[in-house]
Amino acid sequence: MGGCGMALGAYTIEDLWRGGHYGLRMGFRNDGPRELGPFSIEAAWYETGVVPSSVVHCKLCPHECLLDENDRGFCRTRVVKKGKLYSIAYGNPCLVHIDPIEKKPMAHFLPGTPILSLATAGCNMRCLNCQNWEISQAKPEATESVYLPPEKLVSISVERGFPSIAYTYSEPIIFYEYMRDTARLAKSRNVRNVLVTAGYILEKPCEELCQWIDGANVDIKAFNEATYKKLCETTLKPVLKGLEVMRKAGVWIEITRLIVPEFSDDMDDIRAMCRWIADNLGKDTPLHFSRFYPTYKLPFTPLTSAETLIRAREVAKGEGLNYVYIGNLPESQGQDTVCPKCRKPVIRREGFQVLENRLQNGQCPCGNAIAGVWS
């Protein structure tokens, strides 16, 4: 009995409740790589000693992982070694492609130009419908990657004449340090920076990043917490907060909403989202509705019907949004930029190609200014 009491006494009730010293918190316990590789750099946003029972408190994204020695963050790219947090994929992207900017999708940002797009492995979301799960749900050291430090990346885009760089594919927030240094350098050499993200980031890092970012395409997966939880294992609130921060900093924002049947195809939900966008980001914010194709852990969900997408566009227009696009649906005329005043197409597109651009100095021939980054 004594031993039992002793054991229980030493083991406080709170510890029992919270899983003791090393409970089930965010992140991968004891999963760090053998040694820090050459692509490691001390992480930017973290604190030590705040929570007494943990070594490191990551302050980059709203997961706010509490990590101990040799733990790996939820995003798989942050590791604690000797009491410090390291980002382990610095200058080491596993994907570098040149895409048309329409593929990001960005409709009001230098249309018709190529964009240098890159990503490292890892992600702070767990979307069931991830298109890039091969890299987003992998560890950086497990993918085939190239060495591409910020200087080299920027000089490539300057030499080969790419007007902008996109941080995309997986989730750029998780290679924050790499993106920050590249973006800073690119800005100084007149190359634009485009962030393609799910926007799951804390306020302060977002504020810092916005100094160098010119455009952002932010995914809103749904407009209710339940779907966010079910589909992505994250929450909606920080995404909206991040969008407000970006808006305040003057970043050009476009929104993407992928419509997954049975998950995020509710029209009331879409209406609520459009209302929020119109109220908080402005009616000129472009909104892209995207068609779902069966992927990753949702191979048995059928693709979104054209009717749903068209209905969603009508809902968005009804809420006063001026520029609403439909992606992944070749048969629709959903990709043209239509002047809200004269109702004529200003930029005609097919697929990822611009067929005709009648824009002059950011204005429709009818004289109405079209919001966007045009030059």
Partner 1 sequence: MRSSIPLCVIWLGFSAVVVQVVLLRELLCLFSGNELVTGIVFGNWLLLTAAGSFLARFSSSVSKPLFWQSILLTILSLIAPLELCGLRYCRLFMDTGLVLGFDRVFLVSLLVLLPYCLVSGFLLTFFSTTFKTSSEKLHPVGQLYLMDTIGGALGGVIFGLFFTAYLSPFQSLFVLASLSCLASAMLSITGLKSKQRLLSLGLSAAVLTASVALACTGKVEQTTLSWFMKAQQLVEYRHTPYGTLSVFKEGKQFNFFENGIPTASTNDLISAESAVHFAMAQHPAPRNVLLVSGGLTGAYLELTKYPSVQNIDYVELDPAVIETTEKYVGKDPRVHAIVRDARQFISSKHSAYDVVVMSLPDPVNTQLNRYYTQEFFALVKNALSDGGVFGFQVSGAANYLNPGDRLFLASIRRALSASFSHIIFIPGSRIEVVASSAPLSLQIPELLAWRGIKAKYVNSSYVSSLLTPDRLSAIDKAVMQPAGSNTDFSPVGVYAHLTRWTEQFGGGLLAPSSLVLLIVTCMLALILCQPQRTVSFALSTTAFAGMGLQLVLLIAFQAYFGILYQQVGVLIASFLFGGAIGTYTANRPGARAAPGFFSVDLLMLVTAVCCAGIFSWTGFSPVATQFGLVLFPLLNAWTGFLVGAQFPLAARLLPCLPSAMTSTAGRLIALDLMGASAGAFLLSTFFIPAVGVIHVCFFLAFIKAISSLMTYLRMRRPEPDVMAVAPALGIRDMSFFVLASIFIFEGALIIDPGTSTGIYAVSFLPGYHAVLLILVGLGIVSAMDLTAVNEAYSKRFGAIKQSAERLFQLTGIRLSQWIYFAVFSVVLFFPIFKCYFQVPYLFCHVCPRKCPFGFLRPYIIPAALIMNLSKRTWCFHYCPVGTLQSCRSRNIHKAARIALRAVAVLILGVTVFSYFKINSDVQSAFKFNNDWYIALFRNNYDTSVWVLIIAGAILLISLFLPRIFCHGICPVGTFSALIQAGEKKTEGRLQSENE
Coil, strand or helix: which one is 6? helix
Does the protein bind partner 1 through residue 84 (CB under 8 A)? Answer: no
Residue with Cβ nearer partner 1 (300 or 343): 300
Residue 141: exposed, middle, or buried by beta-carbon count in 10 A (0-12, 13-18, 19+)? middle
Does the protein bind partner 1 through residue 343 (CB under 8 A)? Answer: no
| CA dist., res. 175 & res. 172, Å (int) | 6
Does the protein bind partner 1 through residue 70 (CB under 8 A)? Answer: yes
Contact with partner 1 (CB under 8 A) among 77, 87, 124, 143: 143
Does the protein bind partner 1 through residue 190 (CB under 8 A)? Answer: no
Residue with Cβ nearer partner 1 (234 or 322): 234
The tokens for 34 are 């053998």
Does the protein bind partner 1 through residue 262 (CB under 8 A)? Answer: yes
The tokens for 25 are 């918190």
Smallest gap from residue 264 Cβ to partner 1 (A): 11
Question: ω before 345 within 30° of 0 (cis)?
Answer: no
Does the protein bind partner 1 through residue 328 (CB under 8 A)? Answer: yes
Contact with partner 1 (CB under 8 A) among 148, 261, 345, 373: 261
Q: Tokens 């892209």: give the residue.
A: 288
Residue with Cβ nearer partner 1 (148 or 249): 148
Residue with Cβ nearer partner 1 (263 or 323): 263
Contact with partner 1 (CB under 8 A) among 41, 303, 371, 373: 303
Q: Tokens 């990043």: give the residue.
A: 209
Of 227, 29, 351, which Cα lies nearest the Cα of 239?
227
Smallest gap from residue 322 Cβ to partner 1 (A): 24
Mark residues 238-257: x for contact with partner 1 by CB under 8 A, - for none.
Answer: --------------------
Cβ atoms of residues 203 and 175 within 8 Å: no
Within positions 95 to 114, which residues make up the interface with partner 1, using CB under 8 A?
95-100, 103
Q: Tokens 């790499």: give the residue.
A: 178
Does the protein bind partner 1 through residue 347 (CB under 8 A)? Answer: no
Does the protein bind partner 1 through residue 159 (CB under 8 A)? Answer: no
Does the protein bind partner 1 through residue 7 (CB under 8 A)? Answer: yes
Does the protein bind partner 1 through residue 300 (CB under 8 A)? Answer: yes
Which range binds partner 1 by CB under 8 A, 177-185, 243-251, 295-303, 338-346? Answer: 295-303
Within positions 351 to 370, which residues make up the interface with partner 1, using CB under 8 A?
351-353, 355
Cβ atoms of residues 60 and 45 within 8 Å: yes
Write the CA distances from 218 to 105, 274, 286, integer angstroms. 10, 14, 11
E-assigned strand segments in the chain: 41-42, 46-48, 56-58, 66-67, 78-81, 84-87, 95-100, 114-119, 164-167, 192-197, 215-219, 252-259, 287-291, 324-327, 337-338, 345-350, 353-357
Contact with partner 1 (CB under 8 A) among 45, 263, 289, 325: 263
Does the protein bind partner 1 through residue 225 (CB under 8 A)? Answer: no
Smallest gap from residue 289 Cβ to partner 1 (A): 14
Of 337, 320, 344, 327, which Cα lies nearest the Cα of 372?
337
| CA dist., res. 344 & res. 235, Å (int) | 39
Contact with partner 1 (CB under 8 A) among 37, 57, 126, 134: 134
Residue with Cβ nearer partner 1 (26 or 373): 26
Does the protein bind partner 1 through residue 226 (CB under 8 A)? Answer: no
Write the CA distances from 90 to 38, 39, 178, 233, integer angstroms. 9, 5, 5, 26
Does the protein bind partner 1 through residue 79 (CB under 8 A)? Answer: no
Does the protein bind partner 1 through residue 217 (CB under 8 A)? Answer: no
Does the protein bind partner 1 through residue 331 (CB under 8 A)? Answer: yes
Number of residues that bind partner 1 (CB under 8 A): 79
> Quick count: other Cβ atoms within 10 Å of Cβ 82?
9
The tokens for 155 are 């000089």
Does the protein bind partner 1 through residue 24 (CB under 8 A)? Answer: yes
Cβ atoms of residues 140 and 169 within 8 Å: no
Which range binds partner 1 by CB under 8 A, 67-75, 200-208, 215-223, 364-372? Answer: 67-75
The tokens for 327 are 């992606």
